[in-house]
Chain A
Amino acid sequence: MNIIDVLIEQSPALIIAIPLLGAFLMPLVSRINSTVRNIFGLLVLCLTGFFVGILASDVLANGPRLYIFGAKDLAVPMVRILFEVDSMSIFMALITMVLAFITLIYSWSFMKDHDGLDKYYTLVLLLITSTLGMELTGDIFNFFVFLEISCIASCALIAFWISEGEALEAAFKYIVVSAIGALFVLFAIGLLYAQYNALNIATLANVLKYTFLDKIILVLLLVVLGMKAGLVPMHMWLPDSYGRAPPSVTLIIMGATLASFYGVLRVIFTLYGNVLSTTMRFSIPLNVLVGWILITLAIISIIVGVAMALVQSDFMRLIGFSAVAEVGYMFLAIGAGIAALGTPYATTALQGGILHLLNDALDIGLLFLVAGAVYYITKKRSLDDISGLARNMKYTTVFFVIGLLAVVGMPPLNGFASKFLIYESVYQLNPILSIVAILCSILMLAVFVKVFYAVFMGPELPAFKNVTEAPRSMLLAMGVVAALMIFIGLFPNLVIDALVKPAADALLNHAQYIGTVVGGV
């Protein structure tokens, strides 16, 4: 057994352990000086990224991988904490790592003038740890623990600019909503344990009967994770907290939000995978019912998100509302995929949804980076107070235009590739859904054209005559995201073949996920 095999075998645990250790070493390292701290942060992320990378290459080639804490093999599957990594989990972990790298590079310049940065970087690493944990774990109680860690870390990061009352308010609303949500998840976990005496997802999925209690569990998990992902009408915490958190960390908070979305996928496709085709009253199968519930909420999300974004005047809050709409697109695709489970276009819809997850992270992320750069230069939040920045901030303007075109789904950028898959497949389920989605995409264009006009075009205000371009590390971070977006836009099929198709197959083929733990299903 060579060294690489050993590393791959241990990597699920190391992916969690390294950033966790790094997080708690951070205050110590920060005492030396700020350069060492920045390099230490990057080093921790590089190491984690390396393990995610080798694990990804192994999982994509050889199928799901199991890591058992505290034992060599699985004598009693119920009582061990497992990490089960399949193509979907590793896809999410890769997205999280990309977002984490960008956050770190961007933070170097953006947070330079603030104090308390040792705590800032500690919280950032903790949030990355918890997001990765949510994505890699195969144990539902473990999922709850990481959910709570991510809730605590993101709440503290949202309140980081503690001198502003609004930041505290946003953080308080966030923690009230997510603490209650997490407690309901714990209640659902208790119900699961009461029925099946097991806590790991594969064993549970294997024995799940769809009793009355299972219905309650399904609703609890769906609603809580949907809320954490930002489904309307439970989305209101999202623009508050995205709008008030430091823009440098909004990316990883969004990573945690996407991990909740991953939780929805895991619950529906894996935990309830065996019972999805159960017929209920009026001979409606469960998958159709769940699918249409998600589609309804998704369409409301898209409409409300875009409509509210249109009337916002705060730059980051506006992007927060368009993030709600983007989450709606993902849920629309997933809902269509579930409702039409088994048809060819369901698979296309699922692939579109999963690709849109990546695109949403990059597009909205880039817009937040631009908003952060504008805030860094002008110290103004309201769009009414800013004007004519394109004269002095050429690169930022270019990045904003790329982000704008991508987020509204303009060819040939990445947003179009995924929205194309979503429109085409949802159209076959019901044409009206597709039409509403396209119309809202156009409204989204109107929203961002307004921002483009207000911030970058318009007359040059005397206050901004001497503004300069954003610092170099911020430009680098934006440039990396923009390059990734253009790459995905030009070669979408490369990404789909390499990452998205395996992820969609892993979701649809839940027997493999279960079989890795239970054996011989």
Chain B
Amino acid sequence: MIEYIPFIAVVTMIFIGLYAVLFRRNLIKIVIGISIIESGVNLFLITLGYREGGVAPIFTSLPPGTTYPAGMVLPVPQALTLTSIVIGVAVLALMLSLVMHIYRKYGTLDVRKIRRLKE
């Protein structure tokens, strides 16, 4: 049971994020929602790489007695997560700057009022 908790957390985070994007009106909260989804996905990737009793996957400084490669946690998901975090920061910064400019032009952060483009 205990090993499923990370996956439950992942699904919960994705749903919380989706809830925020779908049903919150404030643009900042929508951005926070997207951030939560991203953290959920990152957590998922990290969980994939976990091995019980594994050591950090640094080939040159393996503790003596580790079996290679079975004794290491998987390095690929960590690389993926790092990349994903970097991209996430860029997207987050872009979104927040857009929200800032939208507030200047529209004078509101309510997503229902920011719809001059419709129909």
Measured CB to CB, the residues of A under 8 A from B are: 79, 141, 145, 148-149, 151-152, 155-156, 159, 162, 164-166, 168-173, 175-176, 179-180, 183, 186-187, 189-190, 193-194, 199, 239-240, 243-244, 308, 311, 317
Contacts and interface: CB of A to CB of B under 8 A. Distances in A.
A contact patch SS: helix
Interface string B96-112: 00110110011000000
B15 interface: no
4 pairs of A and B residues whose beta carbons are closest in the complex = A165-B105, A148-B87, A240-B117, A172-B98
B32 interface: no
B116 A172 contact: no
B30 interface: yes
Contacts of B14: 187
Interface of B: 14, 18, 21, 27, 30, 34, 37-38, 41, 44-45, 48, 76-77, 80, 83-84, 87, 90-91, 94-95, 98-99, 101-102, 105-106, 114-117, 119
Given A165-B116, A166-B117, A172 B105 contact: no
Residue with the greatest number of chain A CB neighbours at <10 A, chosen from B34, B91, B98 = B98
Contact of B34 (A169, A176, A308): A176
B41 A169 contact: no
Contact of A165 (B38, B77, B84, B106): B106
B48 A179 contact: no
B34 A179 contact: yes
B95 A186 contact: no
Contacts, number: 94
A176 B116 contact: no
10 contacts: A170-B117, A172-B98, A176-B30, A183-B38, A190-B44, A190-B48, A193-B76, A240-B117, A243-B117, A244-B117
Contact of B99 (A141, A172, A189): A172
Nearest to B38: A183
Nearest to A188: B41
Given A170-B117, A172-B114, A175-B95, 11 more contacts: A141-B83, A155-B94, A156-B94, A166-B117, A172-B99, A180-B21, A180-B37, A190-B41, A193-B76, A239-B117, A244-B117
Given A187-B41, A244-B117, A176 B95 contact: yes
A316 to B, nearest CB: 11
A175 B31 CA distance: 10
Given A152-B90, A165-B116, A194 B48 contact: yes
A317 B116 CA distance: 13
Contact of A179 (B77, B95, B99, B105): B95
Contacts of A199: 76
Given A152-B94, A193-B76, A172 B27 contact: yes
